[in-house]
Structure 1
Amino acid sequence: MLKYCLLLLIVFMSILNADDKVEIYSSSVKSKDNIVNASGGVTVVYQDYFLTADRAVYDRDTQDLELFGHVRLNHNKNYKILGKYAKLNLAKKERYFKPLYLLDTKSDVWISANEGEAKAEMLDITSGSVSGCDPINPLWTMEFSSSDYNTDSKWLNLYNTRLYIYDIPVFYTPYFGYSFDTTRRTGLLKPSFGISSTEGFFYEQPIYIAEQNWWDLEINPQIRTSRGEGVYATFRFVDSPVSSGEFKAGYFKEKEDYFLKNNLENQSHYGFNFRYNNINPLNQWLGLNLSGQSGIYADINHMNDVDYINLASNTNGENQSTATQVLSRVNIFYNTNDNYIGTYFKYYEDLTLQTNDNTLQKLPTIQYHHYVDTFLKDHLLYSFDVQSNNIQRIINKKVIQTDVNLPVTLQTSLFEEYINLSYKANMYLQHSQFSGHEQNPITGFEYHDGFYARNYHTIAVSTQLTKAYENFSHVMGVEVRYNRKGWSKKDGFYEDNLEYCSDFTNKTDPNYAQRCEFYNIAAIQNDTQVDFKQYFYDTSAQEILYHRISQNISYENTKERYGDLENELDYKIASFLSYYNNMFYNYKENKFSKVFNQISFNKYGLNIALSHLYKDTFLPKTTTYTPYTSYFTSSVKYTYNRHYSYNASYNYDIESKERKSMSLGFVYTKRCWDFGIQYTENNRPVLTTIGAANSSVYDRYIYLTIVLKPLMKANTGSPFLSYKLPNDAK
């Protein structure tokens, strides 16, 4: 025993001559000619390395440590290396393993190779394979001819990589890089592929640049062999602790034959998007110390047509645009407990038009609002709001329109707050100042500057009662509001148009749209509004049922004494089943003017959402105006078990007899990979030289999704491979 301890001490003293302390433990140690042999279960502790083996040989002269049999290395609890043989030079900080099995304990990604040699933080690996699956019969592996791994940055490079699904080769790339941690770094992102019968082979290779921690740049070059080439780029930044932004721009050039064959309006598609948000700009930029809250939000978009959006990426169809109008806006505000000041810029682009010279823009809107103040122990309340809109365009008429609102409310309660009473006097003013000229003037009509002023009165009586039962609680409330017109005064534009524009039956007049495009006065009548609401809650305070009935009674319009009766119902039939209904009944037509129904089911792995919207304005149908809306939407998702899930959706415009979109697919999920197939149809607008009758097409795709976890992230929206079927022009 004494001999064993002396030999072990000699080993310690020999290794202490190195820069760092090394500890070796074993049940048997022998030494001869500066060669130390340890056996019987060897343990080596060196810095943050922990090694075990069956036996070890240490040369004091060269400081080479060789380990034999069941070699295991643990490094800082981050990764493990296994092998039959290992050689470590403690002076040169070199390590050699044969064979090599490396496991990253955080991501469960492993590497198996013939041998590996490490110098400092770099580990060079010969031919082998990598995977995130169970090492025994893995579902997928990536085999490589050589590889290197940085143990500090945790970045792995693979060369001449072949992807195998079981034993079937499916993909080859000369290079593949992957990070084992979440640190942003420059490199290549996951590519995307596609095949289209009309656009040819699609390939997109994102390039990610992140040289500093406050910004990154993603460049997405793409090629569609039968259609053209393009590039999109996204620059993201965080310029301060209270602000961040993103700038995206792109360009795509159509091939000549594709451009002519599809009658496209533009051969080149380009645009940009800029988003920025700052939650304290006044104090930050001007060096102020204001106690209020300030902010800037910008969302600026420009494109020459909608294909700029649709060509941006090879997504699963969710980002395919079905909109025909793009909105750019900038909001700037300063807010305190008492006052609010804001200015808003809105710019619209109609993607179906070749020019937006005649599109109305709000550049800018300026608003001042004084929050509710009280007098007489909260019995008297008032607020003040003024808003000015500069509504302009390049051609035709434009206007500066200013609205002023001053509501004053007197309120109290009776019978120990069982009854609430209030009286409100509403003061309103609008002024319009016109400029510009009309390209197509209406015979006998001219725009004149004008103002409209009025006041009206509202008396409200309300009550709300609550009663608790053994299994539920019931809350019921009733409110009756009586509105009465006061005085009004008008001149100019309002005197010429108030009666004409407030009568919606004039919408059939071809001049209505032009004559009334600046008219936005809400009609006030002598009427009564009755609202009834009730709620049911279970014992855990969860809402079971919400029900509301609202009825308007007019004392002026004898032909339509009763306005539309509104009924709203939200019923949680069970924890997994709910139903929502909102409908309006028109007494004059003896028909429903609007009916919306939605039902949701979520149980047994089945998630179903069905909805239908019907609207009728009761106006005559013309070649340019359809008074009806009937639209059906549906989505179904079924999770059979933890591996299989299925999904489908279908959206249909019943009135126009047009399918808007549909999809059908399934996803197979395992611990280390996902596999999915999706068929998608999407009716999207397109700008052509033919006209509005052919302004949309059906895009039909088959998407193949493969997610190799954890090397790829699930639910990124970007498929591995897509096949685009021929378009159906509308």
Structure 2
Amino acid sequence: MLKRFALLLCCLVPLFSKSSILKQNQSQIGEMTADKLERVGDEIFAKGNVVLINGDYYISAPDLKYNQKSKTAFIEGEARIYQGSNLLLSAKKIKLDFNQDQFTLSSVYLQNNQTGLWISATEANSKEGVYYFREGTISGCDIGSPIWHLDVSSGSFDQNNNVLTLWNARAYLGKIPFLYIPYLSFSTKNERKSGLLYPNVAYLDQEGFYYEQPIYIAPQEFWDMTLSPQIRSARGAGFSGEFRLATPKNDLFTFQTKYLYNFNNYAKKHAVKNQHVYGFNFKYFTSQGLVIDNPSSALQDGFFLDFSYMNDIDYLRIDNVGEKVTNRINVSKLSYFFQSQDHYVGLYNKYFFDFTSLDNQETFQLLPEVQYHKFLDSLYWKNLMYSIDVQTSNVARQRGYSYVKNSIILPIGLEFPLFGDYVSFGVGTDLNFTNVNFYQNQDMRVPGGIKADKTANFFTANYSASVTSDIARDYKNFLHVMQFEAKVNGPYYRYNSAMFDTSIYKAYAQELSGNKQIYNLWNPISVVDFEANKPVFEARISQYFYTPQGRAIFYYNVSQKLNLESRDLLFSSSMQNEIGSSPIEGLDIKGTLYYSFLHDAIEEASVKATFSRWRVDSSIGYYYKNVFVSNNINTDANFLNFSLKNDFGYFALGGDMNFDFINKSVKDWTLTLSTDIRCFGVSFVFGQEFTPIITDRVNQPIETVTNNYIKVQFRVVPLGEVGASYRFKK
């Protein structure tokens, strides 16, 4: 902003060199008007309502004097600089020296209209592109009575780097001082600058005082990094670092590493498994071509990398003590593919980290998998369609049996439109072949006591027939869409070796339900789903009603699979029902119901309603699930979640809660009280969460700790936000 001011003032030189005197109200771009203009020797005087215009900027002042010989200008009285109707800068007196490229201001006020940040000072001057001021006040609030402001003894602004530096800053809320900062420096533009970021501060009941100080380093435009050392007074110390690099194609590569050392007392007290918690993560994605760099080429390729290694679940919470870890397994992925219009080849690697495992050595890893896919195409006749899919997977682990899986899938089908495309009829066949080669299987166990083989094969040839209909009709006030599908499929030929015998599937299910030791136990379900290769009839009906604006007034889907292999297992699959409605703008209601006729019980049910309108954001949801083991029905999940936030204008009140009906207890919950004004915001959060930690106890590898916490967060516009939290064990 000051740079713009200096450039605008520089336009005075050519304007004042004109020999003619401009009349009042003859304002034009790049010209000056005043009530009175006169020349006396080398000096030009402008008096009364002086206005200088340049582009969309203009200066207004009572009086102005310019000396052509010394190239100095003096502006007397209240001088103001505008961009359009927005005030950028005002000062009581301005002195400009164009020979030295310097100026001096007194009682100065300047403002950034993009951020709302303003500065007032008793005096200011410039030297070599750096502007200095004394006894200043900075804020982003209304100048009359700012909610927050900084009083500084001095400061400077470097127009070349757009960096504002403040000394001896005292922060005020209203008229109450609450923070002293001896030195503060930040960028006034929305660009990357090296320096200290706002620290993270908290007090944790089990870990003591927590302080993390991020250090941002941005030496060049295409890469930067953040280093964040931290201390936890009652637990340990550590750091996290992240390196980011933008490629010429604007793809982003990031590398992150973290480390935390647990003090001996903390490690013994909580029986933590790892005194040294560490890990790293790589992320990179490109869809513009890693090898093929020609957008017009018929071939395309892409690359995706998200690889993580960690030795403890606490790695995910090193730089965020409040991080909620809800997944039992963390998955690292590396994928590369290239494709044409007809063909696709992909290479995939997946590494699974199981937080419940003591050493992760028994966890299966996919290293690697290769896939070839022939996209759906016609075969000699446009209605005769086929595709090919071939995959080879190396499923390996450090301890226990491993195997290489090869599979080929060849679907072939015919589809005929009937009755003017209102109905479509299709028939087809699927040929599926799976081959498994075992290695590292010295002590491998097969369910039912059957001897283990080194290879196993499974082949099925399946038939399918379907009738589908998709009809839409537009009425005056709504659109009605109705869809119907009926499909029958099943095997007409099947071959399997002993490792995929039906008896092994049943024996594995019995050992699994009996809670027996399943280490190194062959699991045929993980390779071939036996249930998917049975004769099945499936019917689905869908109804949709839309407003002219596209809002779903009401929809309902119902589907049912029938097992045609056995009359007793005819309804082994549950009937699925989905219903939803958005009766008014902002309200959405969704529900599902999976009902098992075989067990005469609900398998799964959920309902969720969300409302977002009139400053209200709320949701309520319920989830229920049963697990059927033999003839027993076990409730696996039964909980209610609720959230509500209402903005009352002066403040907002919100909260969320999860209630577990199985344990009859409240799980995670938060209550938030916040207020946001244009330039300032503060929020208070009270809550409870469940935190899993890995221990060295064999009988309890994962321990769940319940934490209550209080967090306060301040938002100072446009400087950013800072907060602190206090956590204590329940």
**What TM-score do you get using the length of structure 1 for normalisation?**
0.89
Whole-angstrom distance in 2 between the partners of 1:576 and 1:68: 57
Whole-angstrom distance in 2 between the partners of 1:63 and 1:194: 57
**Shift in alpha-carbon separation, 1:694–1:294, aligned structure 2, 3 A:** closer
Whole-angstrom distance in 1 between the partners of 2:74 and 2:363: 79
User: Which of 216, 222, 227 is 1:214 aligned to?
Assistant: 222
**Shift in alpha-carbon separation, 1:284–1:170, aligned structure 2, 3 A:** farther
**Shift in alpha-carbon separation, 1:248–1:125, aligned structure 2, 3 A:** same
SS in 2 for 1:308: helix
Q: Deviations over 1:52-109 (max 9, x none)?
A: 4333444555443332211234699998332222222121111111122122232221
- 2:15/2:32 contact within 8 Å kept: no
**Shift in alpha-carbon separation, 1:702–1:649, aligned structure 2, 3 A:** same
**Shift in alpha-carbon separation, 1:558–1:23, aligned structure 2, 3 A:** closer
Residue 665 (structure 1) shift: 0.2
Whole-angstrom distance in 2 between the partners of 1:89 and 1:282: 56
Whole-angstrom distance in 1 between the partners of 2:472 and 2:66: 84
Aligned to 1:364: 368
- 1:322/1:683 contact within 8 Å kept: no
- 1:507/1:513 contact within 8 Å kept: no
- 2:120/2:136 contact within 8 Å kept: yes
- 2:210/2:233 contact within 8 Å kept: yes
User: Which of 532, 535, 558 is 2:544 aligned to?
Assistant: 535
- Identity rate of aligned residues, in percent? 24
**Shift in alpha-carbon separation, 1:206–1:626, aligned structure 2, 3 A:** farther
**What pairs up with 1:254-653 in 2 under 5 angstroms?**
254-284=262-292, 290-313=297-320, 317=322, 319-375=323-379, 377-437=381-441, 441=445, 444-448=449-453, 449-495=455-501, 498-500=504-506, 507-508=513-514, 510=516, 514-519=520-525, 520-522=527-529, 523=531, 524-562=533-571, 563-619=573-629, 628-641=636-649, 643-653=650-660
Report the residue type matching 1:327 in the other structure.
Answer: V
SS in 1 for 2:486: strand
Which deviates further from its counterpart, 567-576 or 32-41? Answer: 32-41
Whole-angstrom distance in 2 between the partners of 1:489 and 1:10: 95
Aligned to 1:253: 261
Which protein has greater RCO, CA pairs closer than 8 Å, 6+ apart?
1
**Shift in alpha-carbon separation, 1:398–1:100, aligned structure 2, 3 A:** same
Whole-angstrom distance in 2 between the partners of 1:37 and 1:468: 76
Report the residue type matching 2:611 in the other structure.
Answer: F
**Shift in alpha-carbon separation, 1:693–1:209, aligned structure 2, 3 A:** closer
Whole-angstrom distance in 2 between the partners of 1:322 and 1:93: 61
Whole-angstrom distance in 2 between the partners of 1:583 and 1:511: 35
Count of residues in Structure 1 that have an aligned counterpart in Structure 2:
702
- 1:388/1:402 contact within 8 Å kept: yes
For structure 2, which runs of at least 5 residues remain unmatched after alignment? 1-12, 21-29
Residue 385 (structure 1) shift: 0.7
Moved over 6 A (4+): 8-11, 30-33, 45-49, 75-79
- 1:77/1:105 contact within 8 Å kept: no
Which deviates further from its counterpart, 334-343 or 288-297? Answer: 288-297
- 2:17/2:68 contact within 8 Å kept: no
Whole-angstrom distance in 1 between the partners of 2:470 and 2:57: 71
Report the residue type matching 2:99 in the other structure.
Answer: A
Q: Deviations over 1:171-197 (max 9, x none)?
A: 222222222221222222222222333
Aligned to 2:683: 676
**Shift in alpha-carbon separation, 1:37–1:12, aligned structure 2, 3 A:** same
Report the residue type matching 1:426 in the other structure.
Answer: D
Residue 474 (structure 1) shift: 2.5
Whole-angstrom distance in 1 between the partners of 2:296 and 2:576: 50
Residue 368 (structure 1) shift: 0.8
**What TM-score do you get using the length of structure 2 for normalisation?**
0.89
Whole-angstrom distance in 2 between the partners of 1:228 and 1:553: 59
- 1:12/1:23 contact within 8 Å kept: no
**Shift in alpha-carbon separation, 1:115–1:333, aligned structure 2, 3 A:** same
Residue 123 (structure 1) shift: 0.6
**What pairs up with 1:41-190 in 2 under 5 angstroms?**
41-43=49-51, 51-59=59-67, 62-73=70-81, 80-190=88-198
SS in 2 for 1:453: strand
Residue 580 (structure 1) shift: 1.4
Residue 26 (structure 1) shift: 4.2
Which deviates further from its counterpart, 320-329 or 232-241? Answer: 320-329
Report the residue type matching 1:591 in the other structure.
Answer: A
Give RMSD over aligned pairs. Answer: 3.1
**Shift in alpha-carbon separation, 1:269–1:511, aligned structure 2, 3 A:** closer
Which deviates further from its counterpart, 479-488 or 440-449? Answer: 440-449
Residue 637 (structure 1) shift: 1.9
